[in-house]
Amino acid sequence: MAPGPQETDFVHMAIQDMWAPEKAEDHARARTPQGRVLSVLLYCTGEMSHFSKFMEDKPFPLQLVEWILRGVARVILANNPVSGALILGALVMASPWQALLGTVGLLASTLTAIIIGQDSAEIAGGLHGFNGMLVALLMGVFSSAGDWYWWLLIPACLGGATCTFLFSGLGPLLDRWDLPVAVFPFNMVIVLFLSCTGADHPYFPHYPAMPPGAPEGLNHTQLHIPQLLQGVVLGVGQIYACGALWPSLLILGGVLIFSPLMCVHALLGSGVGTAVGLSMAVRHEALYSGLSGFNGALGCMAVGGLFFTFNWKTHLFAIASAFLSAYTDIALSNLLGTVGLPACSWGATLIATLMLLLTAQHLSAYRIPIGRVGSPEHNLLKLSQWEEGAKDDSTDV
């Protein structure tokens, strides 16, 4: 059905066949330079489950690298080792110390999962790593002891290990409603860590979180539109607590490889979050740094294509989810800010969970059971096959 690569131009081909890795071989067989580039690109898109199969009989350290790269990508809801590698590169570019911290946290939680005997398929999918990575990254961001404060590796390891315990324990709780554990463990552990230590802690001092509508809430200066637009892109980077432009773009590139649909939703959600920040008159720095946008981005990505089959209805729900996530984030930031704590990604996590629970027919009809969630493009592709299969077996009891 797909036209031979010789007969059609490169861009058309790319659009038509991308995210259909099974066609990579066709293009490789074409033996043209474009065909070879395309075959490599196609090979790296989507969930790359063929790569997992390829790694199955490789030595443990190599496998661990794959799991860790998947874990890195999982933070932004992607499941693709190449995305993970790109994102890790972006983090090193932004701050080598932060990248080291994140990797240590990720390693600690993945190894803990192996040691305590978690399901090996989950570990191989990077599910036991991303919470630990986020905890370590946030520990680094909030630490007021400066970069390369080596003692911080201890709480990063312990925090990562604790995430695995929480992930394992929350699983059976949320499983009753076929809900993912998502970043609940990260949000819990970082709140506990920051409560445990205080601003003036002798070993692990940290900055208090600043609520977005702080006393100096009156913004006397004019809005700077280019900075605002930059803030939308930074909103995607802030998912990894990274506030620099180029690394954020690289992170976006990582998401693009996994799924262009999610990349669009990430930017859209970040834009919605920034608009919400404007409507609630938050500090301009919160808008410019992307802090207003990242909850919207996460809320939008989760609903738009990942946990629901993509169509215009779920697209509207994704925008609603971005709005709700961003408003909830501002509310929780103000609330937790009274005790000096950040709201992290509580807003997006709670709202995405709410969306998955919704009984509204126009959304719940497109819900994908957690066990079958893939990349948005994969979800669309498999829709018809699922509809066939759903006739004789129901997974959601």
Q: Which of 52, 83, 95, 168 binds a second copy (CB under 8 A)?
A: 168
If one asks whether residue 151 binds a second copy (CB under 8 A), the answer comes out as no
Nearest C-alpha neighbor of 329 from the set 282, 265, 267: 282
The verdict on 223 binding a second copy (CB under 8 A) reads no
73 vs 330 by CB, closer to a second copy: 330
Q: Shortest gap between Cβ of 361 and a second copy (angstroms)? A: 4
- Residue among 165, 208, 381, 386 that touches a second copy (CB under 8 A): 165
> Using CB under 8 A, which of 3, 96, 217, 389 touches a second copy?
217
The three-class DSSP label of residue 143 is: strand
Report which residue type is found at 206: H
Chain-centre distance of CA 176, in angstroms?
A: 23
Q: What is the DSSP secondary structure assignment for residue 111, as one 8-state letter?
A: H
Q: What single-letter DSSP state applies at residue 367? A: B
Report yes or no: 102 and 76 within 8 Å, Cβ to Cβ: no
Give whichever of 4 and 217 is closer to a second copy, judged by the CB atom: 217
Q: Mark 8-21 as b/e (b = at least 16 C-beta within 10 Å).
A: eeeeebeeebbbbb
DSSP assignment letter at 311: S
Interface with a second copy by CB under 8 A: which range of 14-22, 69-77, 354-362, 376-384? Answer: 354-362
Return the exposure string of 230-252: e unless at least 16 CB atoms fall within 10 Å of the residue's CB, then b.
bbbbbbbbbbbbbbbeebbebbb
**Containing H/E element for 38?**
helix 33-43
| Closer residue to a second copy, CB minimum distance, 223 or 281 | 281
Query: Is 334 a residue that touches a second copy (CB under 8 A)?
Result: yes
Query: Shortest distance, CB of residue 310 to a second copy, whole angstroms?
Result: 17
Check binding of 147 to a second copy (CB under 8 A). no
Least distance to a second copy, CB of residue 115, Å: 8
C-alpha atoms less than 13 angstroms from C-alpha of 116 in its C-beta half-sphere: 17
CB 352 within 8 A of CB 346: no
Q: Answer for the pair 205, 143: CB distance below 8 angstroms, yes or no.
A: yes
Give the number of C-alpha atoms closer than 13 A to the C-alpha of residue 52, restricted to the C-beta side. 18
Which of 267, 324, 348, 373 touches a second copy (CB under 8 A)? 324
Candidates 45, 118, 309, 325; binder of a second copy (CB under 8 A) is 118
Strand blocks (E) in 43-118: none
| Residue 201 engages a second copy in binding (rule: CB under 8 A) | yes
Closest contact distance (angstroms) between CB of 242 and a second copy is 26
* Three-state DSSP class for residue 365: coil
Question: Nearest approach, Cβ of 32 to a second copy (angstroms)?
Answer: 49
Options 26-34, 47-55, 263-271, 279-287: segment touching a second copy (CB under 8 A) = 279-287
213 binds a second copy (CB under 8 A): yes
Binding span for a second copy by CB under 8 A among 12-20, 58-66, 244-252, 321-329: 321-329
Q: Which of 361, 384, 385, 394 binds a second copy (CB under 8 A)?
A: 361
Give how far Cα 369 sits from Cα of 128, 258, 372, Å: 20, 20, 6
Spatial separation of the C-alpha atoms in residues 332 and 32, rounded to whole Å:
55
Given 54, 148, 151, 203, the residue binding a second copy (CB under 8 A): 203
- Among the residue ranges 5-13, 42-50, 173-181, 226-234, the one whose residues contact a second copy (CB under 8 A): 173-181
Q: Going residue by residue from 52 to 91, which x/- string records binding to a second copy, judged by CB under 8 A?
A: ----------------------------------------
Q: Give the C-alpha separation, 209 to 203, whole Å.
A: 18
Report the interface residues with a second copy, using CB under 8 A.
Answer: 113, 115-119, 158, 162, 165-166, 168-173, 176-177, 191-193, 195-198, 200-203, 213, 217-218, 279-281, 317, 320, 324, 327-328, 330-332, 334-335, 338-339, 341, 353-355, 357-363
